[in-house]
Amino acid sequence: MSRNAAHHPPRPLIVGIGGTTRPGSTSERAARYVLARARELGADTEMLAGPQILLPIYVPESTERDAAARHFIAVLRRASGIVIASPGYHGSLSGLIKNALDYAEDLRDDPRPYFDDRAVGLIACANGWQATGATLGALRSIVHALRGWPTPLGVALNTAESRFGDGDVPANAAAEKQLSLLAAQVVRFAEQRAAYELAQRPAELAG
């Protein structure tokens, strides 16, 4: 380990999970926008969307995993922070997102089990405010169950009012501000956690 690396935490990896089976959905574009802002703040990012989260139904009694599921778990295992963006289907998150999150059970025996010590930014997208609120609440409950830390801000996007222009940029200034703040909260928490872990290392490793 170099002296410089010993004194500086590594760049955090922020992982986005979201979207639908349709490429370019509002929830996917919202997550991608947050990741773009996270990169500007100095983080590395990876997006898991569409085919990457179209996983077989999670079966807890089976340890068999296809290539997509193995990749999904491997990326989550490395995550310093997470962003989850779901459409609101019938008053809650989509089955696609819920099934993907069920695979976090494979992290239960890790040194950092589930989403432990990770900030998780949440985005709910629906055609109406009632569905966005219910979906955001459901996402928070799931993240709490996975031992994650939902960020103080959760973003609700009413697709009747919030659209995206070129480059996955929200056309609505208020939505852009909220998504940018969400990125900042996830990245800052990840950086603070990394700095804390660095401070806990034995003195000889930091010298």
Taking a C-beta distance cutoff of 8 angstroms, is the pair 141, 131 a contact? no
Does some domain include residue 19? Answer: yes
Q: How big is the CA angle at 23 (ends 19 and 24), to the nearest 5 degrees?
A: 75
Does some domain include residue 6? Answer: no
pLDDT at 132 over 50: yes
Does some domain include residue 3? Answer: no
The pTM score is: 0.91
Q: How many CA atoms lie within 13 A of 103 on its CB side?
A: 27
Does some domain include residue 193? Answer: yes
Does some domain include residue 52? Answer: yes
Domain that holds residue 175: 11-206
Does some domain include residue 2? Answer: no
The number of domains in the chain is: 1
Residue 3: pLDDT band (50, 70, 90) is very low
Write down the pLDDT at residue 202. 64
Q: What confidence tens digit (pLDDT) does each residue in 69-89 have?
A: 999 999 999 999 999 999 999
Q: What confidence tens digit (pLDDT) does each residue in 84-131 have?
A: 999 999 999 999 999 999 999 999 999 999 999 999 999 999 988 889
Taking a C-beta distance cutoff of 8 angstroms, is the pair 65, 107 a contact? no
Taking a C-beta distance cutoff of 8 angstroms, is the pair 104, 65 a contact? no
Write down the pLDDT at residue 167. 73
Does some domain include residue 4? Answer: no
Q: Which two tokens stand for residue 33?
A: 């926008």
Burial class (CB in 10 A: 0-12, 13-18, 19+), 164: buried
Please give the single-letter amino acid code of residue 13: L
Does some domain include residue 5? Answer: no
For residue 48, give the CATH number of its domain.
Answer: 3.40.50.360
Q: What confidence tens digit (pLDDT) does each residue in 143-171 have?
A: 999 999 999 999 999 987 777 877 778 87
